[in-house]
Structure 1
Amino acid sequence: MNKEFLENYVELALKIGINLQKNQCLVIMSPVETADFTRKLVEKAYEIGASEVIVHWSDDFCKKMDFIYKDKLLFENIPDWQLESLMSYANKGAAFLSIAANDPELLKGIDSEKIAISQKTRNIKFKPYYDKVMGNEIQWNILSVPTKSWAKKIFENCSEEKAVQKLWDAIIYSVKADTPDPIETWKKHLDTLKEKMDYLNNKQFEKLIITNSLGTNLTVQMPKNHIWASGKDVTKNNIEFVANIPTEEVFSLPHKYGVNGIVYASKPLNYGGTLIEDFSITFKDGKIIDFKAAHGKEALESLINTDEGSKYLGEIALVPFDSPISNSNILFYNTLFDENASCHLAIGQAYPSCIQDGDKMDSETMEKNGVNDSLTHVDFMFGTDDLNILGIAKNMKKENIFIKGNWAF
């Protein structure tokens, strides 16, 4: 790995991603397989001025052994200390950085009931922490680092070493760490996303009509006073951060009860170690009333049945087909990358920051304003090279937002 590019990536994570402040605590969630990169993050964070750096390690092998051998009833409980640890750091203003680099097929062949129980238990247990994340109460960032199993899934015809190298190259390119001045490159990139965001916010379209040749024909009503957001977020303490590296999206929330029609996924979804492939979802008055999947249907059903809110959408995100990650022609089997190569929707929780005064709304007010609440938030991709999106204004005037997969303005 090119040492300069690697150092650039570490700096981007800490300075652009979470925007680590002097004397701030940093919590890193990392697979053990990415320990070398995580150690570089720890070292650089202290150099920048972190007061403390805590690493929560995870291990795919141990996780798989748990699912193979543990009784399913044991997945119904998670020790309190796991949530208490996250909340204690969050409550004192820590920043959180997560490395998403799991084996896409880690749980292939595992008892689907165990997976469903585990996922629902985690969603319930960690909701107080997820609420802080979704409400932008803390700085947070997700990025990825190659692992052997992940790399081999993408580049199956390469040797393990070559596959890892190719994935490193793809990631470094996607996150712009190979540019002469990555920090400045990212600032310009965020400004470009902001231009699209500002345009959509000024328009305040009432509805979006989405179509493509896969069969997607979806009408999405937007709530009154909705807000489009882009790569840069701001915490309640007015600290800017970028939640995803890479990021190519401009996103908002659909009205909970205003989605009608059918959408076809354009890429597989890696959900909890299971790949869901070739699937479609049908909506009526916002609610999922039907779904199909060639592979992973049980996992999709489990996701949809997480709770009442997981039968509705919480996010719509627009990503041009002609973007760096999409143009790489790599299917990453990793939502962080695949969602930034494609327009996507999210099942479940909406971001309160995507509606005016959302941070001040209680659950009843959110419901009245069409803001979905759920234990989960899972993105799936629907963007294609022939995707068209039409915006319908209050006066019923129509305007093209996307033509053939790309921005029309």
Structure 2
Amino acid sequence: MKQAFERNLGRYADLIVEVGLNLQKGQELMISAPITSYEFVRLITEKAYEAGALNVLTDFYDDELKKIRLEKSAEEGLKEFPGWKAKGYIEMAENNVALLNLAAPNPSLLRDSDPARVAMLNKTSAEAMKDFSAYIGGGKISWLIAAIPTVEWAQTVFPDLSQEDAFTKLWENIFYTTRTDQENTVELWEAHIDNLNENADRLNKGKYKKLHYKGPGTDLSIEFHPKTKWISAQFTNDKGIPFVPNLPTEEVFSIPDKYGVNGVVSSTKPLNYSGTLIKNFSLTFKEGKVIDYTAEEGYETLKNLLETDEGASYLGEVALVPHDSPISNTNIVFNNTLFDENASCHIALGRALSVCVEGGKTMTPEELQEIGFNESMIHVDFMIGSSQLDIDGEKADGTIEPIFKAGDWV
């Protein structure tokens, strides 16, 4: 058992370095990770140097310290962010440093924290890192989000198991959904990316001006500008190097016309937003903006999220994910957007992605605004797909074509 785990763990590390980051010889790597993941960070570091990394830097953090700060800090302290850190990340981006974010969430960490103070801290961080976020959203540098389990996270996913069994089972499912439980992991991922790119090409050839969503609690239309395009989660950085910013990934996605979203949409999985779960929520859109919302749990957190800035109440991404996919077929709610969004069609509040615009990387903010590009300090995906979701595409001449039926590609 231990031997199999170590073998899969090595494949996972190889996948992160070789496919996700596609780390190049002579390139530097920055790893942002929780202190609990130090052993895996050591393995990644070893793999990175074997791939020719010039240097591997680490930025460790502890979510418990964040919780203490929220509880004990003066309000003025929650409005402060270290300028040297924001400038440092910009400097790294300018020097083509690859960025790995190892996510190890505790979905209930801030369940009892004051939502207003949490929102204040989140907004402070988002404002300070806004310029760096443009490097991420534009795919200018290689970056990757991958997961590492924690006991706390595992027990929210498998509450009926012991801590040890829950932790082991979560690792097993991470290996399964990332295909690292199979010998030819890298080859499988190359074929998978090819398949995603074919789906994106099909949508681009369809030239749909609008998508219509119908499902339980959902009746939504989303419009698109002709200059936007559908892509898979395989980006190409400014150096011409391809990388895959999410592991796992099952989506093809685009950006909507900021003002072309109308109707109501209901969530199908919980949203873990900064340590708080938002469950069973719905949003009503008019001319792109959220004008009404409900939530059975996490209402105040949702309210604060939507009020982060003007763009937070508009959409910045539309993603299609088949219900019949490895993550969805586990029938597990991971309480982690990285996994849950890749088990379900989803949309995102906030900042749009310039990689989804033809020539978007070189367009001015004014030119992007002309095509309905949404700007915001945040980008938050939430899940709306299920086996009961139908999606139709409408062309410029009014022709309607089915795209998704009962949650899967037609």
Task: Calculate the TM-score normalised by the size of structure 2.
Answer: 0.98
Q: Which residue of 1 aligns with 2:74?
A: 71
Q: Which runs of 5+ in 2 are unaligned?
A: none
**Alpha-carbon distance, 1:244 to partner:** 0.2
Tell me how many residue pairs correspond in the alignment: 407
**Alpha-carbon distance, 1:62 to partner:** 1.3
Q: Which residue of 2 aligns with 1:135?
A: 138
Q: Which residue of 1 aligns with 2:233?
A: 231
Q: Among residues 85, 93, 106, which one is paired with 1:82 in the alignment?
A: 85
Give the percent of matched residue pairs that are identical in Structure 1 and Structure 2: 43
Aligned residues of 2:212 and 2:391 also touching (Cα < 8 A): yes
CA–CA separation in structure 2 for the residues paired with 1:287 and 1:113? 22
Q: Which residue of 1 aligns with 2:178?
A: 175
CA–CA separation in structure 2 for the residues paired with 1:295 and 1:284? 24
Aligned residues of 1:259 and 1:284 also touching (Cα < 8 A): yes
Q: Which residue of 1 aligns with 2:119?
A: 116
Aligned residues of 1:246 and 1:336 also touching (Cα < 8 A): yes
CA–CA separation in structure 2 for the residues paired with 1:236 and 1:88? 15
Amino acid at match of 2:405: I
Q: Among residues 219, 234, 245, which one is paired with 2:221 in the alignment?
A: 219
Q: Among residues 181, 188, 206, which one is paired with 2:191 in the alignment?
A: 188
Amino acid at match of 1:268: P
- The C-alpha deviation readout for 1:326-382, integer Å capped at 9, x for no partner, is 000110000000000000000000001111121122122111111111111000000
Amino acid at match of 1:169: E
- The C-alpha deviation readout for 1:70-90, integer Å capped at 9, x for no partner, is 112211010111112212211
Q: Aligned ranges for residues 147-158 of structure 1 at < 5 Å?
A: 147-158=150-161
CA–CA separation in structure 2 for the residues paired with 1:296 and 1:66? 21
Q: Which residue of 2 aligns with 1:30?
A: 33
Amino acid at match of 1:220: I
Amino acid at match of 1:331: V
Q: Which residue of 2 aligns with 1:322?
A: 324
Q: Among residues 349, 352, 355, which one is paired with 1:350 in the alignment?
A: 352
**Alpha-carbon distance, 1:231 to partner:** 2.3
Aligned residues of 1:204 and 1:225 also touching (Cα < 8 A): no
DSSP-derived class of the 1:270 partner: strand
1:396 maps to 2:398: yes
DSSP-derived class of the 1:279 partner: strand
Amino acid at match of 1:368: E
Amino acid at match of 1:390: D
CA–CA separation in structure 2 for the residues paired with 1:179 and 1:204? 37
CA–CA separation in structure 1 for the residues paired with 2:9 and 2:226? 44
Amino acid at match of 2:246: N
Q: Which residue of 2 aligns with 1:60?
A: 63
Q: Which residue of 2 aligns with 1:94?
A: 97
Q: Among residues 294, 297, 300, which one is paired with 2:302 in the alignment?
A: 300
Q: Which residue of 1 aligns with 2:8?
A: 5
Aligned residues of 2:227 and 2:371 also touching (Cα < 8 A): no
CA–CA separation in structure 2 for the residues paired with 1:231 and 1:152? 29
- The C-alpha deviation readout for 1:236-263, integer Å capped at 9, x for no partner, is 2110000100000000001000000000
Q: Which runs of 5+ in 1 are unaligned?
A: none
Q: Write out the 4+ residue segments of structure 1 that deviate beyond 4 Å after TM superposition.
A: none
DSSP-derived class of the 1:120 partner: helix
**Alpha-carbon distance, 1:37 to partner:** 0.8
Aligned residues of 2:232 and 2:251 also touching (Cα < 8 A): yes
DSSP-derived class of the 1:103 partner: coil
1:338 maps to 2:340: yes
Task: Calculate the TM-score normalised by the size of structure 1.
Answer: 0.98
Q: Among residues 276, 281, 284, which one is paired with 2:278 in the alignment?
A: 276
Q: Which residue of 1 aligns with 2:209?
A: 206
CA–CA separation in structure 2 for the residues paired with 1:270 and 1:149? 14
- The C-alpha deviation readout for 1:106-134, integer Å capped at 9, x for no partner, is 11111111101101111100011100000
Aligned residues of 2:323 and 2:407 also touching (Cα < 8 A): yes
